[in-house]
Amino acid sequence: MTLIAPDTTVVHTTHGPVRGTVDGPVNVWKGIPYAAAPTGWHRFRAPVAPEPWTDVFDADRFGPAAPQSPMPGMPLGNVRKDEDCLSLNVWSTGTAGDRRPVMVWIHGGAYFRGASSQPVFDGRALADQGDVVVVTLNYRLGVFGFVDFSSLNTDDFRFDTNVALLDMIAALRWVQANIAAFGGDPDCVTLFGESAGGGAVTTLLTVPAAQGLFHRAIAESSPATSVYNQERAAHVARVFLDILGGAGDPVDRLLTASTDELLAASDELFARIPTETPGTLAFGPIVDGDLVPDYPVNSFWNGTAARVPLLIGTNKDESTLFKLMKSPLMPLDPDVIRGMFAEIAAEHPDVEFPDQARIESAYSGLETRDDALGLTRDFGFRLPTLWIVEAHARYAPTWLYRFDYATPMLKALGIGAAHATELPYVFGNIAHGPKEIPFLLGGLSTARKVSARMQQRWLEFAKNAVPVGLDGEPTWDPYDPIGRATMVIDKHDTVIADLDGPLRAAWGEQVIAFT
């Protein structure tokens, strides 16, 4: 009699059995549903558990990406797009009974684009290198996840707020209930993300319903102040309905519109809002007084954010990507920037706004677009990050970094260490060969060394809550209001005391939540 070895990739979850695949030393499960399809009467509502299944679910391919229009330079992998997008993926070198640290990734994309299936987010190298369990997830995007229609609630139908954040919380609850069966430790979960994903991390740190679902956090390039009040949310909902049509019976129109109709209107809204109100996003979390009780920066300063270790930072040249893409998200015209500041000051007469002349002088009077790039970079990313570290360091261990490394080609193109350029280094997916565009002028060997150092820091933080480096690397001290240690990640890493002193001097010490 021939004995057949059991399939070690078959795992029993709370919803049903799933079968993965083997990728070298790593077992992989893709496209596991963590919630039911948010369609029909579930559209714009909180996620609900999927129907249980008894047959083995073949988790051998990524689930559908959330509906979105194509974007050059953002390949989503070989997946279709569908509203039924609430799935996650697991990479693990362990088996049930192991207790490996878990890292849960939230992708970016302006709350509007992206997917866990993007090749740069393949978790194999990170799981193998660090002996951790990596989880990546999809969540609702654009109008499907980040427009608050609660101002349209009726006795017959209720729109929920922040449904995409609720998606993320549902995925984190799935991790708590199931990750032990994949060899992970539910008591050692690091939540990490970049851009909109980083903004989700800094927001979820302040959400009471998310506390206890993760124990460490890493926020890369978080637009932490792109969180809005319900008055603005109601305005955005009205603008969307004007674009879509159907204001006479908005509930029926929103529930019966096709995916393509909603997506087309979502695209128009994405461009219109930052054009009408520079410096703001069409989509983002809402302070609803319930799930999100306050603006996240306020919660950090009040000490009501989760007091877990935090690693946070930005890239040196964040804005160059938006310039390259001609994106409406970050204003670059000096007159538009001045108008943006005037509008913010008018909307918040009770706030002592920093002296505008002093700010402009720190950026050479905004005489060129390069000056504007620096200001929008700091306004959108670096300042919110500094406000958070100054606050959070009073309550929990906090580490601040800046990613400065750029290959010779990216420097020659004037891109530098742009927004999102750190992602391949974190995941260990920097390149498959020297003919890829970033390495046409060399730098692959150095890039691999940068990636190894960066991965080591991120992995040690996930394991032990301290970003210890490889032997011979500088010690990265926690941030405090005296030393203000900042790790500068470059060809050679350095720790600089008060790297952002000139920035704080220009903008002032006062924390201002621009909302």
pLDDT tens digits for range 457-477: 999 999 999 999 988 899 999
Confidence of residue 5 (pLDDT cuts 50, 70, 90): very low
Q: What is the mean pLDDT of residues 341-361?
A: 65
Positive or negative, the CA dihedral 88, 93, 96, 98 is negative
195 is catalytic: yes
Question: Is residue 187 in a domain?
Answer: yes
Question: Which secondary structure element, helix H or strand E, spans residue 90, and what is its range?
Answer: strand 87-92
- Which amino acid belongs to residue 344? I
Tens of pLDDT, residues 382-436: 999 999 999 999 999 999 999 999 999 999 999 999 999 999 999 999 976 777 8
- Six-digit token string for 465: 């809550």
- Asked whether 420 and 406 are in contact (CB, 8 A), the reply is no
Average pLDDT score over the chain: 91
Give the separation between CA 119 and CA 107, rounded to whole angstroms.
12
Q: What is the mean pLDDT of residues 341-357?
A: 62
Catalytic one of 83, 194, 220, 318: 318
Q: What is the pLDDT of residue 4?
A: 41
Best CA proximity match to 93, nearest among 129, 52, 43: 129
Tens of pLDDT, residues 142-174: 999 999 999 999 999 999 999 999 999 999 999
- Six-digit token string for 41: 């009467």
Give the separation between CA 125 and CA 25, rounded to whole angstroms.
10
**Is 351's pLDDT higher than 70?**
no
Give the separation between CA 246 and CA 231, rounded to whole angstroms.
21
3-state secondary structure at position 192: strand
Catalytic one of 195, 222, 226, 266: 195
List, edge to edge, every strand of the sheet that includes 21-23: 21-23, 26-33, 87-92, 133-137, 100-106, 184-194, 216-220, 310-315, 398-403, 485-489, 494-497
List of residues 6+ apart from 492 with CB closer than 8 A: none
Whole-model pTM over 0.75: yes
419 is catalytic: yes
Question: Is residue 259 in a domain?
Answer: yes
Confidence of residue 2 (pLDDT cuts 50, 70, 90): very low
Best CA proximity match to 107, nearest among 459, 507, 423: 423
Question: Is residue 218 in a domain?
Answer: yes
Tens of pLDDT, residues 293-319: 999 999 999 999 999 999 999 999 998
Residue by residue, DSSP assigns 252-286 as HHHHHS-HHHHHHHHHHHHHHHHHHSTT--SS--E
Q: What is the pLDDT of residue 511?
A: 45
Show the domain range for 292. Answer: 10-507
- Six-digit token string for 307: 């007091």
Question: Is residue 117 in a domain?
Answer: yes
Exposed/middle/buried for residue 156 (C-beta within 10 Å: 0-12, 13-18, 19+): exposed
- Asked whether 297 and 224 are in contact (CB, 8 A), the reply is yes
The structural domain count of the chain equals 1
Q: Determine phi and psi for 104, rounding to 5 degrees.
A: -110, 120
- Six-digit token string for 171: 């995925």
**Is 207's pLDDT higher than 70?**
yes
Tens of pLDDT, residues 75-93: 898 899 999 999 999 999 9
- Say which CATH number the domain at 39 has: 3.40.50.1820
Instruction: List 100's β-bridge partners, or say none.
Output: 184
- Six-digit token string for 283: 């989509």
Question: Is residue 451 in a domain?
Answer: yes
Confidence of residue 73 (pLDDT cuts 50, 70, 90): confident
Question: Is residue 513 in a domain?
Answer: no
- Asked whether 59 and 30 are in contact (CB, 8 A), the reply is yes
Q: What is the pLDDT of residue 75?
A: 86
**Is 128's pLDDT higher than 70?**
yes
Question: Is residue 364 in a domain?
Answer: yes
Question: Is residue 3 in a domain?
Answer: no
Least reliable range by pLDDT among 25-39, 80-94, 131-145, 316-330: 316-330
261 is catalytic: no
- Asked whether 310 and 396 are in contact (CB, 8 A), the reply is yes
Least reliable range by pLDDT among 46-60, 117-131, 178-192, 341-355: 341-355
Please give the radius of gyration of the chain, using alpha carbons only, rounded to the nearest integer.
22
